Amino acid sequence: MTLSVKDISLRFGGVSALTNVSFDVQEGQVTGLIGPNGAGKTSLFNVVSGIYTPTSGQVFYNDHEISKLRLDQINRLGVARTFQNIMVFPELSLVENVMIGRQSRTKAGALSSIFRTRKERNERSEAERRSIELLSYVGLDKKKDELAKNLPYGEQRQLDIARALATDPKILLLDEPAAGLNLQERVSLKALIKKLNAMDYTIVLIEHDVKLVMDLCSRIVVLEYGNKISEGDPQQVQSDPKVIAAYLGSGGE
Amino acid sequence: MLLKKYGNIIAIAALVLIPLVLNDPFLTHMGIRATTAAIVVMGLTLFIGYTGQISLGHAAFFGLAAYISGILMKSGFPFLGSVAVATISVGILGCIVGLIVLRTSGHYLALASIAVGVILQTLVKNSSITGGPSGLTAVPSPSLFGWTMNSDLAYYYMVLLCMIVGFVVLRRITDSRTGDALRSIANNELAAQSLGIPVFKYKVLSFTVSTMFAAFAGTLFVHYDGFIDPDRMGLPISIFFFVMAFIGGIGNLYGSIIGAFAITILEEYAQGFGNYNVLVYGLLLAIVILFLPKGLSDLPNVIQRWRTR
Amino acid sequence: MLRIKDIDTYYGHVHAIKKISVNVDAGEFVTLIGANGAGKSTLLKSIIGLQPVKNGSIEFLGERIESDRSDAIIRRGISIVPEGRRVFPDFTVAENLAIGARARKSTSAEMQEDIDKILDQFPRLKERWKQKAGTMSGGEQQMVAIGRALMGRPKLLLLDEPSLGLAPLVVAELMTKLKEIHAAGATILLVEQNVTLALRVAQRGYLMESGEIIASDDAKALLESDAIRKAYLGIEH
Amino acid sequence: ADTLKIGIIESISGAAAAYGDNHRKGTRLAIEEINNAGGFNGQPIEFHAEDDRSDPAAGINAAKKLIAQQKVDAIVGSSASLVTIAFTKENERYKVPAVNGQAGSPTVTEQGYKYTWRVNMTDGQLDSKAVEYFASQKGAKRFAFLVENSDYGKPPTQAAADRAKKVGATVTAYEQYNRGETDFKAQLSKIKETSPEVIFVHGYYTEGSIIARQIKELGINATLIVNMGQGVPKFVELAGAAANGAVFPTTWLPGLDNEKSKKFEEAFKAKYNHEPGAFEAGTYDSIYTVVEAAKRGGGSDPKQIQAGLAKLEGFEILLGKISFDEKNQNSGEVRLATFSNGKIVSFK
Amino acid sequence: MENVIQQLIFGLSVGSTYALIALAITLVFRGMDVINFAQGEFFMAGAFMGFVFHVDLGLSMWLALPLSMASAFILGSLLERIFLRKLEENANGLSLLVMTIALFIMLRSVAQLIFGSSAYRFPAMTDGVLRFGGIQISAQYAIVIAATFIIMALLYVLFTKTALGLSLRAVAQDKTTARMMGINVSRVNNITFGLCSVLGAVAGIVYAPIAVLTFDMGQLIILKGFTAALLGGLGLVSGAVLGGFTLGVIEQYGTLLLASAYKDLVSFSILLLIILVKPNGLLGKKQIQKV
Ligand SMILES: Nc1ncnc2c1ncn2[C@@H]1O[C@H](COP(=O)(O)OP(=O)(O)OP(=O)(O)O)[C@@H](O)[C@H]1O
Ligand SMILES: Nc1ncnc2c1ncn2[C@@H]1O[C@H](COP(=O)(O)OP(=O)(O)OP(=O)(O)O)[C@@H](O)[C@H]1O
Ligand SMILES: [Mg+2]
Ligand SMILES: [Mg+2]
């Protein structure tokens, strides 16, 4: 067991974004997190990645409590995320965007860069090579020198994934990675996630594309109004009347 | 093309040769003024331009180091020792101040930096070893190995050399992993942090380096002018440095140098307008902002865009 | 109602829209589809004057608008749900909706009527009425953006991927709603990634690729066309 | 013969601009008079003026420019002490004399520069004289100070406070304020508690006039002494009735009974439409001093002027007969004046 | 006890002048998302306009005040048209900020060219001193305090109850989207800047009798106004007023209890402490960034 969410509650003034949510993420699996709009999915990511401190409850990563850590510390432990709202570095090129992700896995300090030591130069060119490789995962290597702000919406989301991967995470939290992609592009995304999963990344996926979630995930957690209303494998969840009422609808897509 | 490739060398050659060829003591003097300012502005650019933060208190660090170095040398310390002690101690102070004020950001950081500036200024103004409000007078000129530097031209070359070294150092920082981290903070602090970048640490680092540049420039200033008073630590001077950084082109080290030279020249040129000098200075400033919102260093691009139109 | 003739749009040197012509007649429901980076959003931006067009002309209700200021174009009776939502983060839901009615200078009775309809459509917004839009969830923000556009009672409604981030049920309801307001007389231009859905609700469609229109036809015909099937639908199921 | 070229450094803009105005009026009148009377050696004298923006560094710029580029023979200025303190180093270095007729800080001449001369008295001398007079002649025992926290306000009043203690009076309070402030009730409340007989205010007349008003508002009953810089008609205009009875030490004031002063007053009023004050007189004197020095030194060369300055003993200017001490500081007579019904009159 | 209250009143009266400037800063910040460094100069310009109408032309205050307000509006919107309009397209907020610095330099210098370097007296609207028992406050300060609260109320209504206020705030948040809502951004900015100039004029005119008129009277007050606006919570109308009063009281007691030479040190240290504890000002709410 890698990630374990225990009794998490999160309140903003009167608004209860999460209420006593608990679940575990198994190593090497793709876990889905679904639920209606405003159910608290993103908030849960924000708690796990350290952006929000939970009002109560804890998050454990490999039996190590991380709910009190800063987000950069959590990232360094191996938890990376993408954002639902675009959060690329607009004024940096694509390759630079991804290279920022390499920061936590590189070491050179200000002094060694002032003296341009060989080690520093090697490390830097290695980081660049790796970044371009990661860009090719999401099909953006040809645009590597473009500024991120000039990318169309869909591609900015892809860039976000490459950037998160650059931190060499063990767990990857993806928040609606398919939003803004057309069907064909969703197919590539699906392939990418499968590939990553095969490469031993543990993945947590928030998506409103139910088909994508059902195809990819071995386990699914369903939230509604901040409460966990269901959990299980795709079959179980899909046939859970509570989930159908709250989220899937009886018609089905 | 040629300019791009040999631009640096041409620029350095010009900076070295022009004062020598023209041999106008006043021009040399303005050169010293501009290069000294450029050192502050380059450091400020690291913090404002690259890291995306704001400081309106750098003049206090500039002035404080000037005082320290001046007092040390007056009390018998060697030149290099005074400069080093002043720069390093102010750098340490900068680090401590950074640890405190960088908890805020945006306009509140601007205010916090102003507050720090005012506090330091008031302390200096009311202390007796600094000469109080009357300032520190008769600060000795630098002397190296028993040779006293009292030629302006020599001083100019010394400051110029410092500026070039400072430029190279900053250039290497900004072109490195550290520079990447700083720019990511300027772009999106939260995203940067979620990618494992210790944002606060980098901000403090950037602030400390920039205060050290200001401090170093302050020592160069005081041993040249031989005089400093508490007003030089004040908000107007901080704003002045800030404007230089902006006019040259924020987030661009060449811009810092261009900005420092341009404002120094602009101010001096405006003198020709007698009573209207301040108005002319303000107007020219406004015109630059209006037509070159990305600063003077953007001029080539603007011209090119204008040509292709 | 909207006649776009041979326009070009550039981002610096990037030629994002290449000599495109698009017509939307009064009362029509038209959709615009295409891959990432095809130029769909750019076309919408060009229509409302946010991205200057180089050549050609844009007519709205018989008048040339391509060199008008954006706000003036909007005030002619156009509303937009922009890409990336762009709600006003410091405004509450209430204020965001109110500002949507600014261009038209609605009376307060009209506004109340519109608000009631919108809250009916998105009950979630009622619960969040006084919350700052910037703190809302992605889908909630999308609802605000859609509601805000509807507040303008537009003659022409432009939607840039309105389904983005919405839960499946909400998307279905949204499409029904769009049909409804279309039936009530509004003209709609819809940009969507969810091609099937878009072509099901719209009457006519344009297919864009690298800044050009490569096909345009009846929605049904497009849905069945080989080009679309190959590019978008062939792989489904 | 060579033309005499004078460089003028004055604070046209910045914090000391009001005093730069005095400087400009005084010096220009003198130059005009001299040139109308045939100039120096039959040639009109030339001048180059620079704005020091009330900033010492800008003052150094100005001095470098005037000396190195304009090749002036002497510098007159500046209105601001700190500026003068900073730039006179250049005069020393290039051996070009500087003559000051307005700056008040003792440090200007205390630095001991050979090429720096001052014809007016220091504020320290003036303030101390005023305090001494009140302590010994008027039997005042309790003095409170309210001064601008700057080089302008502090050093002279500290000297004056020391003098007060020396002559057996007590200093009940020594409060400070910053340039530009407009409310002094906190300081005045503290001062009021110490029930002083005299309140000495040293600063610009803008703040000073407000202080005078607020002293009345708080009902403090003490004689107000202000520094020379405030002893101008503007003070009355700004302070209104509150100015009445305020006393100030000065080097010169209108209505003196001597030919030179009368002529100056007339010419000044004709040119500028208002009465001159001590600063206009001092700066006017500084130009005459340079020209006379050139005459006595035998030419317009900086060296000759410098030599001539040393020979000026006894030369009569508005401020009295010149007598430089070993630090080139002129001494002179301190007069006390007061505001009476809106007019400046001698204080008895 | 009486003295304590008296000193508090003194502090509050000084604070009200800070609050007046802070309110205008708040207006521009809410409307244009920029700190207007030229606000002190609008204050100065307004005071001089009042002086010209009231003293030079001898008009009664009832005429001079509206005339000054009208001229101030014209001045403000003119400046916006010439110097700021072109920058609004440019997303870079710093360029607006630096432009207000340039405006500050220019306005001040023009005032000096017109009115010279010397000071002028603005006659008090009333000379009276109000007394409550042993406690006194000059009537002019009472006018300033009244003006502060009136402007606060007006701004509050503007921001929360009017369509213009809504547009103004929308423009400050996101100009492009504001345009998509059919808002004429340039016109809104023009009005905002005009209004901030009007506020400056009102502040200048009610304050001028307390002090004196000089071309550089805006210099110190802008720093205090800026400080007050942030201290209370940037962008909040009530924050500007609270910040102004707080700063005034802090200064008053700082001067009373400690050496007056260290007054700035005391007040800025307290300020630094406050913003470290409350990084969004006294009334500002903690911003939780939603991602
Ligand atoms: N900072 C905040 N302040 C107030 N309320 C908040 C804040 N952050 C989140 N919320 C509320 O918490 C709830 C959960 O939001 P969250 O973003 O987690 O939803 P979600 O499940 O990701 O929805 P979506 O599918 O629409 O993205 C929402 O109703 C939102 O309005
Ligand atoms: N600001 C910009 N500068 C330069 N190029 C841009 C800019 N914005 C968009 N582009 C380019 O213009 C093209 C069209 O972009 P546009 O955003 O219109 O695509 P789209 O069809 O809306 O894509 P998506 O479905 O991802 O939203 C893309 O190739 C993009 O890279
Ligand atoms: Mg979400
Ligand atoms: Mg798009």
Residue B69: CATH number of its domain: 1.10.3470
DSSP C90: T
Q: Report the CATH number at residue C26.
A: 3.40.50.300
Parallel, antiparallel or unpaired: strands A171-175 and A202-206? parallel
Mean pLDDT, residues C110-138 taken together: 91
In Å, the largest CA–CA distance within chain B is: 63
Whether A252 shows a pLDDT value over 60: the answer reads no
Query: Is C208 within a domain?
Result: yes
Its sign, for the CA torsion E130, E132, E134, E136, is: negative
Q: Determine which helix (DSSP H) or strand (DSSP E) holds A231, and give its type and residue range.
A: strand A227-232
In Å, the largest CA–CA distance within chain E is: 60
* Tokens encoding B230: 């508490």
Mean pLDDT, residues E232-255 taken together: 93
A251 touches chain C (CB under 8 A): yes
Strand ranges in C25-90 using DSSP code E only, listed in sequence order: 29-34, 57-60, 63-64, 78-81
- With beta carbons less than 8 A apart as the criterion, state whether D161 and D114 touch: no
Report whether residue A19 contacts ligand 1, using a CB cutoff of 6 Å. Answer: no
Touching subunits of E (3+ CB pairs, under 8 Å) are A, B, C, D
The span from the CA of C81 to the CA of C145, in Å, is: 6
Average pLDDT over chain A, rounded to an integer:
91
Ranges of residues in chain B whose predicted pLDDT is under 70: 1-4, 309
DSSP C236: -
**Confidence band (pLDDT; 50, 70, 90) for D343?**
confident
CATH number of this structure's domain A1-78+169-253: 3.40.50.300
Mean pLDDT, residues E249-268 taken together: 90
Q: Which of D28, D42, D9 is nearest to D294 (CA)?
A: D42
Its sign, for the CA torsion B88, B89, B92, B94, is: negative
Q: Helix %, strand %, coil % for chain C, to 5?
A: 40, 25, 35
* Tokens encoding D176: 């400070």
Q: Topology of domain E1-277, per CATH?
A: ABC transporter involved in vitamin B12 uptake, BtuC (1.10.3470)
Q: Which of E133, E12, E10 is nearest to D189 (CA)?
A: E10
pLDDT digit string, tens, across residues A144-191: 999 999 998 889 999 999 999 999 999 999 999 998 888 888 888 999
A94 touches chain B (CB under 8 A): no
Q: How far is CA E46 from CA B225, E154, E218, in A?
A: 40, 19, 11
The span from the CA of A54 to the CA of A7, in Å, is: 10
For residue D9, which residues of chain B lie inside 8 Å, CB to CB?
none
Our count of domains for chain B comes to: 1
For residue D153, which residues of chain E lie inside 8 Å, CB to CB?
none
Q: Which of D228, D270, D205 is nearest to E120 (CA)?
A: D205
Predicted structure pTM score: 0.94
Q: Which structural domain range is residue B87 located in?
A: 2-308
ipTM for the complex shown: 0.93
Lowest pLDDT segment from B213-217, C186-190, E127-131, E275-279: E127-131
Strand order across the A56-61 sheet: A15-25, A3-12, A56-61, A64-65
Amino acid at C134: G
Mean pLDDT, residues D180-199 taken together: 93
State the nearest Cα–Cα gap between A92 and chain E, in angstroms: 16
Q: Which residues contact B132 (CB under 8 A, 6 or more apart)?
A: B125, B126, D151, D154, D155
- Spacing, Cα B258 to ligand 1 middle (Å): 47
The span from the CA of B130 to the CA of B100, in Å, is: 26
Mean pLDDT, residues C83-109 taken together: 89
The β-bridge partners of E71 are none
Report whether residue A188 contacts ligand 2, using a CB cutoff of 6 Å. Answer: no
pLDDT digit string, tens, across residues D147-164: 999 999 999 999 999 999
Whether E259 shows a pLDDT value over 90: the answer reads no
Amino acid at E98: V
Lowest pLDDT segment from C226-230, E3-7, E49-53: C226-230
- Spacing, Cα D286 to ligand 4 middle (Å): 75
Touching subunits of C (3+ CB pairs, under 8 Å) are A, E
Whether E91 shows a pLDDT value over 70: the answer reads no
pLDDT at B3: 65
Cβ-nearest to D183 among E14, E117, E214: E14
Share of chain B above pLDDT 90, in %: 75
Our count of domains for chain C comes to: 1
Cβ-nearest to D189 among E117, E256, E259: E256
Q: Helix %, strand %, coil % for chain D, to 5?
A: 45, 20, 35
For the beta carbon of residue A70, count every other beta carbon within 10 angstroms: 16
Q: Which structural domain range is residue C41 located in?
A: 1-77+192-236
For residue A96, which residues of chain B lie inside 8 Å, CB to CB?
180, 183
pLDDT at A253: 42
pLDDT at C233: 56
Delimit the domains of chain A by residue range. 1-78+169-253, 93-167
- Spacing, Cα C42 to ligand 3 middle (Å): 26
Query: Is C44 within a domain?
Result: yes
Counting Cα atoms < 13 Å in the Cβ hemisphere of E108 gives 26
Bond from prior residue into D189 cis (ω within 30 degrees of 0): no
Does the beta-carbon distance from C50 to E179 stay under 8 Å? yes
Minimal-distance CA residue of chain B relative to E278: B104
Report whether residue C92 contacts ligand 2, using a CB cutoff of 6 Å. Answer: no
Question: For chain E, where are the alpha helices, taking DSSP H only?
Answer: 2-32, 39-51, 61-79, 85-88, 93-115, 139-161, 163-173, 175-180, 185-207, 218-232, 237-257, 263-277
The span from the CA of A206 to the CA of A192, in Å, is: 15
Cβ-nearest to C41 among A42, A153, A253: A153
Cβ-nearest to C88 among E177, E185, E290: E177
What long-range pairs does E79-86 form, CB within 8 A, spacing at least 24? E79/E103, E79/E193, E79/E197, E80/E189, E80/E190, E80/E192, E80/E193, E80/E194, E81/E190, E83/B286, E83/B290, E84/E32, E84/E189, E84/E193, E85/E186, E85/E189, E85/E190, E86/B290
Q: Which of A144, A101, A92, A102 is nearest to A123 (CA)?
A: A102
For residue A84, which residues of chain E lie inside 8 Å, CB to CB?
291
- With beta carbons less than 8 A apart as the criterion, state whether B84 and B219 touch: no
pLDDT at A14: 81
State the nearest Cα–Cα gap between D38 and chain E, in angstroms: 32
pLDDT digit string, tens, across residues C126-178: 988 999 999 999 999 999 999 999 998 899 999 999 999 999 999 998 999 99
Amino acid at D36: N
pLDDT at C237: 38
Whether C236 shows a pLDDT value over 60: the answer reads no
pLDDT digit string, tens, across residues E38-57: 999 999 999 999 999 999 99
Average pLDDT over chain E, rounded to an integer:
91
* Tokens encoding E80: 């916006």
State the nearest Cα–Cα gap between A93 and chain E, in angstroms: 19
Amino acid at A159: L
Whether D121 shows a pLDDT value over 50: the answer reads yes
Ligand 1 atom with minimal separation from the A44 CA: 18
Q: How far is CA B228 from the centre of its chain?
A: 17
